[in-house]
Structure 1
Amino acid sequence: MSDRRAENPRRRVSSQGPALAAPLAGQECAAEARSAVAVVVGVASPALACSLESLVDGTEGLVFRGSAPTTDRLLACCMEAGDCIALVDPALGPQGLRAFMQLLRMMAAGVRVVVISDMHSPHMLREAIRWGASGFVEREAPPAEIRAALVAAARSQRYLSPRMAEDLADSFVLRELTPRESRALAVLTHGDCNKLISSLHPNWR
């Protein structure tokens, strides 16, 4: 009998294990949900919005908070979400990138903007960075690249694809060239050699 009595406490403890594990698991899930960074998607295309929603849902540390096909809806979602990431196409509104970024900053100060656009000239990249964008990706970028930009924004970092970063760096180099150097570089890109440049354009300054 003494052996059976000794076994009973162990049986009672083991039977309580699953009952205790369920609340703990629920608490962990709730904590993860609270720590996840909200993402609002602002694009006009329903198909693209759906793809981006799936991408956000499949990224650890991020939670999809809503999709906005208009500027007004985007602002409302960002204001409601508070500290969030807005993955947006500036073409959503007619204001242009600078005005668009200013409007977001004014109406939703806690938003971190990742621009997604087919328009990514060095000038547009500079404007986006100047007005506080956390990242810039192409609409046709692979999911891994878009995910990397969102994760960087969640960490309060900036992200540009290697190609965009190279284009941006090249644009700054070109801005430092003299007018003569810039014109010479333009001729070189058409296959002309240095000797031909000197002979054809002796008066360049």
Structure 2
Amino acid sequence: MPAGNADLIRILVADDHPILREGVSAIISMQKDMEVAGEAATGLQAIALYEALRPDVVLMDLRMPEMNGVEAIEKIRAAHPDAHIIVLTTYSGDAKALEAMRAGAAGFLLKSSLRRELLDAIRAVHRGQRHLHPDVAQDIALHAIEDSLSPREVEVLQMIAGGHSNKQVAWKLGVAEETIKSNIKSIFGKLRVSDRTHAVTTAAKRGIIEL
């Protein structure tokens, strides 16, 4: 492990926006018990810097070039199961949070709440606890007992969001149009909606698909 002050929580900041990295680093630099160990602009850089620096906590953006945050979390946690990772994102959907948690993240923060929650989240995760933004935790609880969309249903809905008709979706996926209609009926039931537009907006809000 690289040399450093053993009393400090060493933090790796991974985000492709320089201004956000600078802002987070400025907040951390004012704390007596923390220091920024390094900064990464891509998922691949985050993995490489984790190996080189072995920070105590990683702040990981979900959307980055070369490799997204979830994939980077999976890679880091596969090699280092004890890695403490907090997701930073603009997306509050429960699906994104669950995806990150399943990959091994211990915390989920909205970028809009960094000033209020960042430091407490870092300290909590460093102690081995979890930290979820309250709105995200509530969304997860609300949808916990619902059936989740299958990978095929997500694929169908993503294509619908892109403006494709049932016939176009069927052609692209190499299945019958009736199969797509059946998929859509199932999607409506699981999302508790009654039309395509509402299905797309609901899924996007929850982070199931991206617009």
Partner of 1:70: 42
How far has the Cα of 1:97 moved from its partner?
A: 4.8
Separation of aligned partners in 2, 1:130 and 1:70? 21
Matched, 1:156 2:128: yes
Task: Give the gaps of 5 or more residues in structure 1.
Answer: 1-31, 188-205
Identity %: 21
2:128 is matched by which residue type in structure 1? S
Pair member with larger Rg: 1
Matched, 1:45 2:45: no
How far has the Cα of 1:80 moved from its partner?
A: 2.1
| 1:126 pairs with one of 98, 103, 109 | 98
1:82 is matched by which residue type in structure 2? R
Partner of 1:85: 57
How far has the Cα of 1:117 moved from its partner?
A: 0.9
Cα contact 2:85–2:105 (8 A) shared by 1: yes
Separation of aligned partners in 1, 2:110 and 2:20? 12
Partner of 2:197: none
How far has the Cα of 1:109 moved from its partner?
A: 4.6
Separation of aligned partners in 2, 1:96 and 1:33? 31
SS in structure 2 at match of 1:133: coil
Q: TM (normalized to structure 2)?
A: 0.63
Partner of 2:200: none
1:55 is matched by which residue type in structure 2? I
C-alpha spacing 1:45/1:109, structure 2 compared with 1 (3 Å): same
Cα contact 2:62–2:70 (8 A) shared by 1: no
Task: Give the gaps of 5 or more residues in structure 2.
Answer: 149-184, 194-211
Partner of 1:23: none
Structure in which a larger fraction of residues adopt helix: 1
Cα contact 2:29–2:35 (8 A) shared by 1: yes
How far has the Cα of 1:75 moved from its partner?
A: 1.9
Separation of aligned partners in 1, 2:134 and 2:66? 29
SS in structure 1 at match of 2:90: coil
Coordinate RMSD, CA, aligned: 3.0
| 2:116 pairs with one of 116, 141, 144 | 144
Separation of aligned partners in 1, 2:55 and 2:118? 20
Q: TM (normalized to structure 1)?
A: 0.64
How far has the Cα of 1:147 moved from its partner?
A: 1.6
Separation of aligned partners in 1, 2:116 and 2:32? 13
Separation of aligned partners in 2, 1:98 and 1:72? 12
